[in-house]
Amino acid sequence: MTKTAIITGAGSGLGQAAALSLAEQGINIAVVDVNAEGGNETVKQAKEAGADAIFIKADVSKAEDVKNYVDQTVEKFGTIDYFFNNAGISGSGKYFLETDIEEIDKIVGINMLGALYGIRYVAEVMLEQGGGSIVNTASSAGVTGQDSVVTYSATKHGIVGMTKSLVAEYAKDGLRVNSIAPGPTETPMVAAFYANNPEMKENAEAGIPQKRLGTPEEVAELVSFLLTSKAEYINGEVIRIDGGFTNTK
């Protein structure tokens, strides 16, 4: 039976790259994003790669939207085998005490609550069918402290804790949950952040031992590996993919 993956934030960046990587393996893709134009483009490319794919518009900070994308996926494909719990935003790059409360609420709503809601509804389906594999997107800011991203960092540290605790509860039932911790990567979200904070791009590149940003395709290869059966005995891990960026911190 053909496997099915849900990918949030799949309209661009890491989510889109992961969707196409999995589509090339013939896996059905439920593309979830708030951006319909980007989401439909990912569906188009996934179908061109030979997979079946659908787009579901969702604001992941709303539990009802999350339940809807899970329900629609099951209705269309009958199963959820893989979940790349990836949707997220970075914020303005302001220091914490200069950050508006509205921005804090938005980042927490999308990055943390969205991830929790996703697992709440997806894992329910997975456990009913005997198990499944989840990869959460944390960040280098989820394993170290970094300035200008306090709220973002808090949510990504939360993703790490969520990952480990879910394994403690549900690994015995066939659930695998891992996190990736990308460093600065050439995605639209990161590009927008650096456009507002150009000096931070120079600092980031200088601080990466490999002296360059990562690519979405490099991250997608890791996500694909962790989601599939090739990684059956990897569970509860937080895997850094950052060119050595956090190795020196």
Which active-site residues does the annotation give?
A: 152
Q: Rounded to an integer, what distance in angstroms lies between the CA atom of residue 153 and that of residue 141?
A: 5
The residues that bridge with 30 in the sheet, in sequence order, are 6, 54
Q: Are 243 and 148 in contact (CB under 8 A)?
A: no
Location of structure tokens 């395709």: 217
β-strands 28-33, 53-57 pairing: parallel
d(CA 118, CA 110): 11
Q: Are 84 and 6 in contact (CB under 8 A)?
A: yes
CA distance 34 to 80: 20
Cβ atoms of 88 and 149 within 8 Å: the answer is no
